[in-house]
Amino acid sequence: MPAELSPIEKAKFAAAKRASDMVESGMKVGLGTGSTAAWMVRCLGERVRREGLKIRGVPTSTRTAELAREVGIEVIALDEAGWLDLTIDGADEFDAELNLIKGGGGALLQEKIVATASDRMVVIADPAKEVAHLGAFPLPIEVIPFGWKTTRNLVEEMLEGMDVLGREVGLRMSGEAPYRTDEGNHILDLHLMRIGNPRQLALVLNQIPGVVENGLFIDICDTVVIGHGDGRVELRDVTEGTLEEGRVEFGESENLFRDV
């Protein structure tokens, strides 16, 4: 492993490597988006090359699709797959009940659709993503461009009645222009600091005209794999109430690091 790889990247790799071992030949797998999910896609690609693993992947963004094809994973659309055995994705935050904030990478809509079309969702993360209460990470919501300022005003008005500490709502930018999702929509980032009732907020947000989807993933994630910089991994299953601990050896996957 290159010496310049940070402890956080090592932790992301450890989680991704452990989760990739859950995938079996013949599976249809949802492939998440983001830096941790990219490690997972590379790990699966290595298994395809080394072991002849035969899977079909449903990516949650164009950049994940490009990476999957690059590492030799067969890519199919969700409509072709119909239903998935497993989705593996990262998260910006997760709490003790494995409720999540996702969408920092701008792919929350496809990520939520793919995750809910799966028998099981596994989240891969480093320890910094675990929080006592969701909300320190800005909550993304995807909105259609038409009338987005009106949508923002409605969101701000709604937040007055919610159990949150902050109410700042900002339009995500990409340079000088508004950020565009794969569907051509905008993203509003809600700086809430602390969300007292994530379930209620998720339901109310999606009732606002112009909101396509929000980045709160409630009762969707089944398992979280937490990686550490020294190779330790923790696997928590919320449905089984179990905790499994193990270790990933970095030296076994040096081909992966040559590509980074």
Spatial contact of 109 and 75, defined as CB atoms under 8 Å apart: no
CATH of the domain at 59: 3.40.50.1360
- The verdict on whether residue 17 carries a ligand-binding annotation is no
- In a domain? residue 179: yes
Residue 243 belongs to domain spanning: 7-129+219-258
In a domain, 134, yes or no: no
Is the domain of 12 the same as that of 78? yes
CA 186 from chain center: how many Å? Answer: 18
Q: Can you tell me the distance from the alpha carbon of 135 to that of 138, in angstroms, rounded to the nearest whole number?
A: 6
What is the per-residue pLDDT for 231? 96
85 domain residue, yes or no? yes
Ramachandran region, residue 191 (left: φ > 0; alpha: ψ -120 to 50; beta: rest): beta
pTM (2 decimals)? 0.94
pLDDT at 4: 73
* Residues forming the active site: 111
CATH number at 207 reads 3.30.70.260
Which tokens go with 135?
């909300």
Rounded-to-integer distance, Cα 82 and Cα 144, Å: 26
For residues 99 and 145, membership in a common domain is answered with no
- pLDDT for the residue numbered 122: 98
Residues 176 and 67 reside in one and the same domain: no
Is residue 163 domain-resident?
A: yes
Render pLDDT for 14-32 as a digit per residue (tens, 0 to 9): 999 999 999 999 999 999 9
Strands 86-89, 121-125: pairing kind:
parallel
For residue 161, pLDDT over 90 is answered with: yes
| Of the candidate ranges 168-177, 207-216, 245-254, the one whose mean pLDDT is the lowest | 245-254
Residues 102 and 146 in one domain: no
Residues 80 and 190 in one domain: no
Residue 1 lies in a domain: no
Instruction: State the pLDDT at residue 255.
Output: 60
Query: Does residue 36 carry a pLDDT above 80?
Result: yes
Residues 60 and 160 in one domain: no
197 located within any domain:
yes
Measured CA to CA, the distance from residue 207 to residue 22 in angstroms comes to: 36
Contact partners, residue 44, CB within 8 Å, separation at least 6: 20, 23, 29, 31, 53, 55, 57, 68, 71, 73
- 92 belongs to an annotated ligand binding site: yes
Is the pLDDT confidence value at 251 over 60? yes
Chain-centre distance for alpha carbon 10: 18
Q: Is 21 labelled as part of a ligand binding site?
A: no
Per-residue pLDDT, 57: 98
Alpha carbon separation from 34 to 28, 125, 202 (Å, rounded): 20, 11, 22
Q: Report the pLDDT value the prediction gives residue 5, as an integer from 0 to 100.
A: 81
Domain count, the chain: 2
Per-residue confidence at 132, pLDDT binned at 50, 70, 90? very high
**What integer is the mean pLDDT of 123-131?**
98
Per-residue confidence band for 250, with pLDDT thresholds at 50, 70 and 90: confident
Phi, psi of 242, deg, nearest 5:
-115, 155
Q: Are residues 202 and 244 in the same domain?
A: no
Residue 2 has pLDDT above 60, yes or no: no
Q: Are residues 229 and 111 in the same domain?
A: yes
Domain shared by 231 and 252, yes or no:
yes
Encoding tokens for residue 178? 């508004």
In the block, which residue shows the tokens 């089984």? 240
What are the backbone angles phi and psi of residue 93, rounded to the nearest 5°?
Answer: -155, 150
75 and 124, same domain (yes or no): yes
Distance CA 229, CA 248 (A): 10
Both 100 and 166 in one domain: the answer is no
> 97, 131 in Cβ contact below 8 A?
no
259 pLDDT higher than 80: no
Q: Within 52-180, where are the H helices?
A: 62-70, 78-81, 108-116, 148-159
pLDDT of 1 reads: 46
In-domain check, residue 152: yes
pLDDT for the residue numbered 241 = 85
Is 223 within any annotated ligand binding site? Answer: no
Residue 166 within a domain: yes
14 & 86 share domain: yes
Convert the pLDDT of each residue in 217-232 to its tens digit.
Answer: 999 999 999 999 999 9
